[in-house]
Amino acid sequence: MKNDIVQKRQLNSIAVKKYRQSLTKEVKQARDKEQKIKQKIVLALLNKEKVENNQCTFTINCKNPVVGITKKCLKHWSFNFNRTAARSGYSKKEFSKIFINLYKNQNGKCAVTGIKLTPGLDVEVDHIIPLSRKGNNDVSNFRLVAKFVNRLKNNFTDDEFKEHIKNICPNLLEWATKGEINMSDYDMSAG
């Protein structure tokens, strides 16, 4: 009988230890979760303050001003061109420096149209001589252009692109000023 009581006490003691351990584990998990939530709140408040102060939100330590519609500075925004960097054979850091230099040398303007580029919205890297036309990935063959320009240029050389623009501009100007193009001027039977 005495052995039974001792055995029950031992089992009870083991059960109490396991229960305490599980409680400790749950409490620890709850504290960790609470700590993570507090960290997120602090980061959100810091980011809010950085956004209000027009500072880069890419890292807590970066105090550089944001560019365009991004919440990043020029350096951190340039990391968005990782795919272009990889295809061009440059490391992320190398291409970031190239991009920043292009942006600064062009005064943040499109190399073709001269319009102000908006980082995060309409900036693309253009190969002056397209790769498909035996162009290369040398820095001297890069320029920053507005997205619509790069789409329109496609794989034209600069001379071909200029001719293309000369051909389409009269019709675009007519449409822009009159709101329509007189379709009777076009031979619709040609196909």
In a domain, 187, yes or no: no
Average pLDDT over residues 7-26: 70
In a domain, 188, yes or no: no
Token digits of residue 76: 């951190």
Quickly state the pLDDT bin for 6 (edges 50, 70, 90).
low
Strand partners, 143: 126
CA dist 60 to 65, 85, 149, Å? 13, 25, 35
Query: Do 86 and 140 belong together in one domain?
Result: yes
Top pLDDT among 105 and 183 is at 105
Q: In the predicted model, what is the mean pLDDT of the chain?
A: 81
Query: Do 81 and 173 belong together in one domain?
Result: yes
Domain containing 95 equals: 74-180
Top pLDDT among 3 and 91 is at 91
Query: Do 86 and 49 belong together in one domain?
Result: no
Please tell me the predicted confidence (pLDDT) of residue 23: 66
User: Whole-prediction pTM value?
Assistant: 0.62
Instruction: Kindly give, in sequence order, each residue whose CB lies less than 8 Å from that of residue 111, ignoring residues fewer than 6 positions away.
Output: 126, 143, 144, 145
Query: Do 22 and 113 belong together in one domain?
Result: no
Structural domain count of the chain: 2
* Span 38-64, pLDDT tens digits: 777 776 666 677 677 788 888 878 888
Asked whether the predicted pLDDT for residue 8 surpasses 60, the reply is yes
Please tell me the predicted confidence (pLDDT) of residue 151: 92
Query: Do 78 and 128 belong together in one domain?
Result: yes
The amino acid occupying position 183 is: M
Please tell me the predicted confidence (pLDDT) of residue 183: 59
Quickly state the pLDDT bin for 33 (edges 50, 70, 90).
confident
Q: Domain containing 117 — which CATH number?
A: 1.10.30.50
